[in-house]
Amino acid sequence: MTKEKKLVVYGSGETAEIIADYFQRDSSFEVVAFTVDREFLQEETLLGLPVVAFDEVVTRFPPSTHQMFAAASFGRLNRNRTAMYAKAKASGYTCASYVNSHAFIWHNVELGENVFVFEENVLQYKVRIGNNVILWSGNHIGHQTVIEDNCFISSHVVISGFCTIGSNSFLGVNTSFNDGVKFGKDSVTGNGTIIVRDTEPGSIFVGNPAKRIKSSYEAFKVEPS
């Protein structure tokens, strides 16, 4: 595959390594460097590429010729990745998105910036995905569903049609949603949770049918978004 564009990956943990490898092997982007906030700079290279402090990245890999991907997991209810994405944008970068060549994306799906879609995802008719969203492997996103900004969808999640997944949410493995559910922002599901009705924001749910067990704000020690 021809490498037409250059990419800097923001992050140096396992998620960043995985994302860099996928971009390198299955996209038109050439990954040229990693960047981290200076206080987290512990090594000079990663995967054979330079690791540079974020306060130097604009000079060494300018946004006029490079794009960036903020690569972090769902730490602090996605707040860590969201802050990284905001810093990249404030520094002038366009944030790349990636769709695996083995994903199924219908022609009228809308994808935001800094979106990463792993293999075997199915995104149906008029699905809309916001900015800074990660869809790990093997999810089904039903027709006209909306996933708002800064979400992390783990694996084998089934979201039926006409649902809305509120911003900053995390969905555990094998979560399922009935049609038309509005899932409150800043919320979390445990593995195998079945959501059958609309939910309030800032909550953690488990079970079938789902029950609210605690506040996600208390559990993750973050403020409401």
Question: Mind listing the pLDDT tens digit for each residue in 85-123?
Answer: 999 999 999 999 999 999 999 999 999 999 999 999 999
Domains and their CATH numbers in the chain = 5-90 (3.40.50.720), 98-209 (2.160.10.10)
Mean pLDDT score, 50-71: 98
- Give the pLDDT of residue 2: 79
- Does position 78 have pLDDT exceeding 80, yes or no? yes
What tokens appear for 157 in the block?
């999640």
Contacts of 59 (CB under 8 A, 6+ apart): none
Neighbours of 53 (CB within 10 A): 14
The pTM assigned to this predicted structure is 0.97
Tell me how far apart the alpha carbons of residues 178 and 162 are, in angstroms, rounded to a whole number: 9
